[in-house]
Amino acid sequence: MTETHSFSRRVPSGDTLERRVCDTCGFVDYENPKIVVGAVVRAGEKILLCRRAIEPSRGRWTIPAGFMELNETAEAGARREAMEEACASIRITGLLAVYSIPRISQVQLIHIAELEGDSFAAGPESLEVRLFDWEEIPWDDLAFPSVHWALRHRREVWEQTACAAFSNPPGDLGDAMP
């Protein structure tokens, strides 16, 4: 026989925030931020960007990134996203940044990576994948504020394969969409 559970929002004993709590057994259904993993991928002096085939921001350019899956490391997730979106094998050399986007309850872990080999192509979530010289990056057509941040932060440490992790620009929580 299956038990039916109903949930209501209340502050559980010993907590300070309202949560979804099972009215039958008291189970607390914690809702936590989503983790996004990705990489700014370099190929020589160029940067790998993907034109999104999905919403949000369909048709705009981004770095290969997406939601981390259960039971994977952040690095494995970033490599998986590069393969899914750009059919690209990458070598991660360090963590570039940790961005907090509270408006959409996301934490983004963005890595420094190098393209392995010279093979890449549009995966099912991309309309197009290209390598861009710094001067060619389509700044006005980037998908999200954090893509701007990641590219600029990567440029600040261009010759490095690892660095102290950056965070959001002062006062910027990624509220404005391009």
Q: What percent of the chain has pLDDT over 90?
A: 89
| pLDDT-derived band at 174, boundaries 50, 70, 90 | confident
Q: Are residues 62 and 149 in the same domain?
A: yes
8, part of any domain: yes
Q: Are residues 49 and 4 in the same domain?
A: no
What angle is formed at CA 106 by the lines to CA 97 and CA 82, rounded to 5 degrees? 60
Q: Are residues 48 and 110 in the same domain?
A: yes
C-alpha separations of 35 from 9, 27, 68, 72, 95 in Å: 24, 24, 6, 12, 14
Q: Are residues 2 and 81 in the same domain?
A: no
pTM for this prediction: 0.90
Check which CATH number belongs to the domain holding 128 and give it: 3.90.79.10
Q: Which of 110, 115, 123 is nearest to 50 (CA)?
A: 123
What angle is formed at CA 40 by the lines to CA 79 and CA 172, rounded to 5 degrees? 120
Q: Which of 87, 16, 106, 101 is nearest to 48 (CA)?
A: 87
Q: How many domains does the chain have?
A: 2
The tens digit of pLDDT for each residue in 99-141 reads 999 999 999 999 999 999 999 999 999 999 999 999 999 999 9
Q: Are residues 63 and 103 in the same domain?
A: yes
Give residue 23's domain range: 1-31
The tens digit of pLDDT for each residue in 56-110 reads 999 999 999 999 999 999 999 999 999 999 999 999 999 999 999 999 999 999 9
